[in-house]
Amino acid sequence: MSTPHDLLHTVFRLSDFRPGQESVINALLHGHSSLAIFPTGGGKSLCYQLPALMFDGLTLVVSPLIALMKDQVDALQRLGICAARLDSSQTREETRAIYDALYDRSLKLLYVSPERLKNERFVQRLANFEISLLAIDEAHCISEWGHNFRPDYLLLADLAKKLRAGRVLALTATATPAVAADICRQFSIQPQHHIQTSFARPNLQLRVTPCDVDTRMGLLLSRLQKHPAGAATIIYVTLQKTAEDVAQAINAFGLRAVYYHAGLKDDEREQVQNCFMSGDVPIVVATIAFGMGIDKNNIRAVYHFNLPKSIENYVQEIGRAGRDGNPSLCEMFAVGDDIRVLENFTYGDTPSREALFALIENLLAFDDVFDISTYDLSNQFDLRPLVLNTALTYLELKNVISAQSPFYTEYKIQFLQSPDFILGQFDNERADFLRNVFAVGRMGKKWLALDMMTIEQQLQQPKARIIKAIDYLVEKSWIELSVAKLRQGYKNNKLITSTEQLTGLCDYLEQLFSAREARDIQRIRSLLEFANNPQCLSQQLLHYFGESTNATCGICNHCRQSTSPRVSVPAPKSLDDQQIQFIASLKQEAHKALMQPRQLARFLCGLPSPATSRSALKNHPAFGALADASFSQVLAAVQ
């Protein structure tokens, strides 16, 4: 039987293991679950890819990013390893081929998103296979103590038990001791199988440069001007508009830059990423939407034009520099005003008690199995999608509701063969059935739209038969199918039967969101403490992630300067009488989307929400009128 070293050389074509990899792999091969905390670019993926080839069963990899999954699967397939990913971008033929490989046991690694694991039918299908290893990338998302909490990750510990996974491997580049302990607790990982390598990156020169809003751009441009021509550079900003403005200023200065943020279309983002990866454009100005899965080893500089959201975000983002081991610069332009902006976003995300109570009442009004559109609920209760999904996950963990299979409410058919040709391939009964299916559709210029919410009642036929017939036509290449309008199924477990229980449940959710808000505010404050602490910057980061060291880097600006300028946060200005009167007048004529105090405070601070977006209130002259004020002050004034 091949040894790990044999596979490392013959399959992966590598000469040696990186630090920590062999210890993690040996733990897994001996049947133990493990937590691997390696710095960005430290070789986490090999820790599950190699042992997957030595296990009899399937290795299921949970990864949050489709682009990252695609890159890894493509790389594995080039090495001759049978690996696949399941995501919404694939055709039915591609999905069917993956299931065939699952059933004939030739598939060794299957990559899925955490959201797919909310599909009850998919989980039931997975339960028929031997899951030798469940690998969870970006595992800090599991922990509520983590900086990048994703609600669907909370359900993975129960899923591991449901699938009877042989062992679990949790992987992350940014876990504090508290987060690591939480992950180990959830997956019963023993202390000796928590493998953490050093976060030290001696080739990165860290700088914190206190400045103000007026001087920041000039400092950035002067730094960029000194770079060698074509030096790959990432500049991180907080807001989408800032990304566009900074890129425009750089181009006007005579250098070449592009911007990247979540507001761009998929093809636009892909084009920007390709330009940067190929070196056609050396500078990208981006929000945190950019970076996951970026494997460019010669990035020479990472600038933070705005303060990052947390030390964890900061470490993840500077970790993209200098992966080739050559010297790289990581400079943070520390403007105290950014603290208020970050805190306002955090406060603005916390749902109001009224919104939580209305959401729970709405869900519990259903007797048994029901389905929802998260898009519709987000608008109805003015909760951002992430906040809504978090609330739903908390309710699942309390067993108040249980997720059922999601489904699409609209099927769109494009005929590749004429309807007459298709009907001619069947006997009279089946042809009549299909004719009726086509007849209830709404024909557009190109597509026939079928309403899957009403089609069963319209045809007096089981939905399963209708879907099976459509799938058959796709399989024969007689039609092309597109699906839209996803709805998630849930079951009301009827645990809440009294007003007192409903109030208690609302109290529970409110406490969870309040605690989350407090932790996020503390993260922002920790970043300020990091910037103002005169100690070596690299040493501070190592201590933050639980690594004990007395050594200093000798190259950061805190090591090289006898005194370090401090980042000063302007004291929040008290609202004057005119502003108070302005708030009072708005309350009197408040739009229905601004009836709750938090809604109006978000609006005045310029923080968009589903209600303000839907009502076009972002164009109202008062939107953001108090953007320079503290959210907590504005909320208190509104109340």
Structure tokens at 554: 């000798």
pLDDT range class, residue 620, cuts 50, 70, 90: confident
4-196 and 204-335+533-560 have identical folds:
yes
Residue with the two structure tokens 């876990």:
175
> Over 80: is that where the pLDDT of 590 sits?
no
> Over 80: is that where the pLDDT of 593 sits?
no
Vertex 303: Cα angle to 561 and 236 (nearest 5):
145
Give which of 509, 283, 303 is closest to 397, Cα–Cα.
509
In sequence order, which ranges of 210-352 are alpha helices (DSSP H)?
213-226, 240-252, 266-278, 311-318, 337-349
The pTM score is 0.85
Q: Are strands 407-415 and 479-492 parallel, antiparallel or unpaired?
A: antiparallel
Residue with the two structure tokens 């042992």:
51
What contacts 70, CB < 8 A, 6 or more positions away?
85
Structure tokens at 397: 């963990």
- The pLDDT of residue 68: 80
What is the overall mean pLDDT for the chain? Answer: 90
Share of the chain above pLDDT 70, in %: 98
Instruction: Please compute the mean of the pLDDT values over residues 302-320 and round it to a whole number.
Output: 94
> Over 90: is that where the pLDDT of 117 sits?
no
- The pLDDT of residue 571: 77
* CA–CA distances in Å: residue 602 to residues 350, 447, 599: 10, 41, 5
CATH of 4-196, one of 3.40.50.300, 3.40.50.720, 3.30.2130.30, 3.40.605.10: 3.40.50.300
pLDDT tens for 8-32 read 999 999 999 999 999 999 999 999 9
Q: Are strands 448-451 and 369-372 parallel, antiparallel or unpaired?
A: unpaired
For residues 365 and 502, give the distance between their C-alpha atoms in angstroms, rounded to a whole number.
Answer: 12
pLDDT tens for 419-451 read 999 999 999 999 999 999 999 999 998 999 999
* CA–CA distances in Å: residue 198 to residues 140, 402, 536, 561: 17, 41, 16, 25
> Over 90: is that where the pLDDT of 493 sits?
yes
Superfamily of domain 204-335+533-560 in CATH is: P-loop containing nucleotide triphosphate hydrolases (3.40.50.300)
What contacts 624, CB < 8 A, 6 or more positions away?
604, 605, 606
Domain boundaries, the chain: 4-196, 204-335+533-560, 346-400+493-519, 407-491, 577-638
pLDDT tens for 495-544 read 999 999 999 999 999 999 999 999 999 999 999 999 999 999 999 999 99
Do the beta carbons of residue 170 and residue 411 sit within 8 Å? Answer: no
pLDDT tens for 246-275 read 999 999 999 999 999 988 888 898 899 889
pLDDT tens for 274-295 read 899 999 999 999 998 786 657 7
Instruction: Please compute the mean of the pLDDT values over residues 324-343 and round it to a whole number.
Output: 94
- The pLDDT of residue 293: 59
- The pLDDT of residue 292: 63
For residues 609 and 595, give the distance between their C-alpha atoms in angstroms, rounded to a whole number.
Answer: 13
